[in-house]
Amino acid sequence: MPASSEVNYVLPYQSVYYIIIIFGIIFFVFSLLWWKSILRMSYRNTAEWFLSAGRNMKGGIVTASIVSTWTWAATIMVSSKMGYDYGISGPYWYAAGATIPILLFSAIAVYVKKLTPQLHTFPEFILYRFDKKTHWIMIIIGLMACTIVTTMVILGGALALNVLTGINVKIAVLVIPLAFCFYSSITGLRGSIVTDYLQLAIILVIGLGLSVFLYYKYGDFGICMMLDNLHSGSRLFTITSFSGIMFGIINTIGNFGTVFLDQTYWQRAIAVNYKSVGSCFFTAGLVWFALPLCIATALGVGGLALGINVGDSTTIAPLTAYHMSGDVGGIAFLVMLFMAIISTGNSESVAVSSLIANDIYRLHMRPQATDKQILRVSRFTTGLFGIVTGIFSVFLFSIGVQVYFLYLAMGIFLSSGIFPVILGVMWKRLSSFGAFWGTLLGFMSGIIVWLIMASVQEEGSFFEAMSKMVPIVCANCSVVFVSGIVCLIDGCLLHKNQFDFTILQHKIGSFLRKQEMKDMKEIKPVAKRAYFENINLYFRTDGRKIILLAIYSSLLMGVFFPAVMYFSGFTFSEGFFSYWIIGTLVWLMFSAGYTILIPIIDFFQPDEMEQLSLDEP
């Protein structure tokens, strides 16, 4: 079997520029056509529309956008690394740990539509639910979430490009953001969601094709026998290996932070029409689960079975793709990864622009800002963010920070806000005191525990100890435990007052003033009374059912199924391994079919009225 040195730089480095130029031109042309369509209707050239997408988008395309945005470079690179390092348990715990937050966010999305129909950002909700100091701490966490995610996407992409083409990593890190930062400043949220759909279709087709080709070439039984012949092969055939479970805990907590504290997913909850808001997140979670499970099993576990030797197992996915299908596989992998990079990068850029334009510029720097002024700030910061994260990624690479380390550590920096946000949306008793101190003390406890646990590790340097599983697991658990305890103590013991959520409906409104709405002949405000009658009816029927389904599915995926496998001591036999492989392929086929076809069917259905403003009662 070839070693990594034999398959390094198998593609010319110019192929990177060809891919970036070709797809850059495609999406730039799309942006120009999009801009032309915007100018036909004056209300679409507004900050309100740029950052909310009209709040009437159909569920199918928003589902595809959620799946696409949630498909990072790490979805392909790190999940495959986990398969290479830990066998079957790696892809399962990566997929399950990242799916559960998306499923449960459907509850937040339903409540957001019910409580604050004209919301722009989650810190804006925090400001009027709590106070300014809590608002600022959520702005900081929100910006950190977008920066960490985009940095991981850029570094992961640059690493894969370097492995296959030999292109200098620093050059790749600076070039990659140019592919998404400028066209996203033109298209805004709605354009971002549409391009997400196109990019996801390419990811799914290539990912499914590479997975099918691997098993066609080597056979599922062949892969199983190769694994069985490896040293400690038995631990590779169970999803309950100790290392896999430890990673599952880190993965779940970290991804709660990067969903619930990332403006990207709040924007999709804002953009979709209220009838589809819960179902699109629930469906997106189930669809997305198949993607890392199938691809990482093929390119990670498959790469281990084929005996591909790597110095850094994060690079196993592109090397496996090349090993099994030569230049075609290498180029196909680069295209798939590039789609994941620009999809997530584009979405995060628009998310950051909404945080800066709305929460910093409008709410703090210039409260009387007009819609046009907010739009200018939004477009400028969308483009600027890509350039800034590219420079920041070069800095992190220069000091030796790797994608895998960022992925493991992200929960420590982001997850202290999980309970304050969830309880702030769904519980009347939480006060600003509990939300602020729960977030701050949770973060501080995580950092302290992380440093203490790293200092007592006996092997390697202090920095190496910080990247080990045990310190990071303890730190992640400390963050959410302390934050949750503080919030519960505050709501149950310290404060008995109940917040009146109807206040939010009066305080959170459109950027557009009444006269501006009157001047726009193409659109009228939505009747406020009718909206709340409809959303309350939806909440009492479909909304609650979806929330319960999300909770049950999460428990099944993260608790009940692993518990049965653990206490039974079950290890995959050759036959069960074969069924497992077939199951992952079939699930990904259905996922691809659903996310590609449903938006096309939805396209021919009548549109809901665009909701840029609500009439006062």
Domains of the chain in start order, with CATH, are 4-403+499-615 (1.20.1730)
Residues contacting 502, CB < 8 A, separation 6+? none
**How far apart, in whole angstroms, are the C-alpha atoms of residue 603 and residue 271?**
16
pLDDT at 37 over 50: yes
Q: Which of 319, 282, 317 is nearest to 67 (CA)?
A: 282
- List CB contacts of 312: < 8 A, sequence separation 6 or more: 402
- Count the neighbouring beta carbons within 10 Å of the beta carbon of residue 280: 29
Neighbours of 511 (CB within 10 A): 26
Contact 468/78 with Cβ under 8 angstroms?
A: no
For residue 212, which amino acid is it?
A: V
What is the structure's pLDDT at 39?
65
Task: Supply the DSSP symbol for 608.
Answer: P
Share of residues in the chain with pLDDT > 70 (%) = 91
- From CA 224, how far away is CA 218, in angstroms rounded? 10
**DSSP 3-state assignment of 57?**
strand
pLDDT of residue 1: 40
> What does DSSP assign to residue 315?
G
Q: Which helix (H) or strand (E) holds 615?
A: strand 614-615
What is the distance between the alpha carbons of residues 394 and 405, in angstroms, rounded to a whole number?
16
Q: Is 36 exposed, middle or buried (0-12, 13-18, 19+ CB in 10 A)?
A: exposed
Q: How many residues does the chain have?
A: 617
> How far is residue 194 from each of residues 31, 66, 200, 265, 339, measured CA to CA in Å?
11, 11, 10, 15, 13
Q: Backbone phi, then psi, for 505, in 5-degree steps?
A: -65, -25
Tens of pLDDT along 357-366? 999 999 999 9
- The per-residue pLDDT for 229 is 62
pLDDT in tens, 148-186: 999 999 998 888 888 888 888 888 888 888 877 777 788
**Exposure pattern of 318-327 as b/e (b: 16+ CB <10 Å)?**
bbbbbbbbee
Q: Is the predicted pLDDT of residue 6 greater than 50, yes or no?
A: no
pTM over 0.85: yes
Q: At what angle do helices 181-218 and 263-271 cross, to 10 degrees?
A: 100
Closest CA to 264 of 255, 273, 274: 255
Residue 231 has pLDDT above 60, yes or no: no
Query: Would strands 526-527 and 614-615 be described as parallel, antiparallel, or unpaired?
Result: parallel
The identity of residue 443, as a single letter, is: F
pLDDT at 612 over 70: no
- Residue 24, C-beta contacts closer than 8 angstroms, at least 6 positions apart: 178, 179
User: 326, 300, 314: which is closest to 217 by C-alpha?
Assistant: 326
Nearest 5°: phi and psi at 310?
-135, 145
Mean pLDDT calculated for residue range 91-119: 93
Quick one: pLDDT band at residue 235, thresholds 50, 70, 90?
Answer: low
Token pair for residue 46? 């507004």
Q: What is the pLDDT of residues 410-442, one digit of tens each?
A: 999 999 999 999 999 999 999 999 999 999 999
For residue 284, give both structure tokens. 């997106």
pLDDT of 243 higher than 90: no
Using CA atoms in the order 592, 596, 598, 600, what is the torsion angle rounded to 10 degrees? -170
Q: How far apart are CA 602 and CA 605, in angstroms?
A: 5
Q: Interhelix angle for 316-354 vs 73-86, to 10°? A: 140
| pLDDT per position as a tens digit, 458-505 | 777 788 888 888 999 999 999 999 999 999 999 998 887 889 998 998
The pLDDT, as a whole number, for residue 178 is 81
- Secondary structure (3-state) at 385: helix
Asked whether the predicted pLDDT for residue 7 surpasses 50, the reply is no
- Tell whether the model's pLDDT for residue 5 goes beyond 50: no
Q: What are phi and psi of 285, to 5 degrees?
A: -60, -45
Report the 10 Å Cβ neighbour count for 349. 27
Does 27 have pLDDT greater than 90?
no
pLDDT at 121 over 60: yes
User: Using CA atoms, how far apart are residues 251 and 549, in angstroms rounded to an integer?
Assistant: 22
Query: Which range (168-182, 340-354, 601-615) has the least confidence?
Result: 601-615
* DSSP assignment string, 459-527: SS-HHHHHTSHHHHHHHHHHHHHHHHHHHHHIIIII------THHHHHHS--SS-HHHHHH-TT--PEE
Distance of CA 117 to the CA centre of its chain: 23
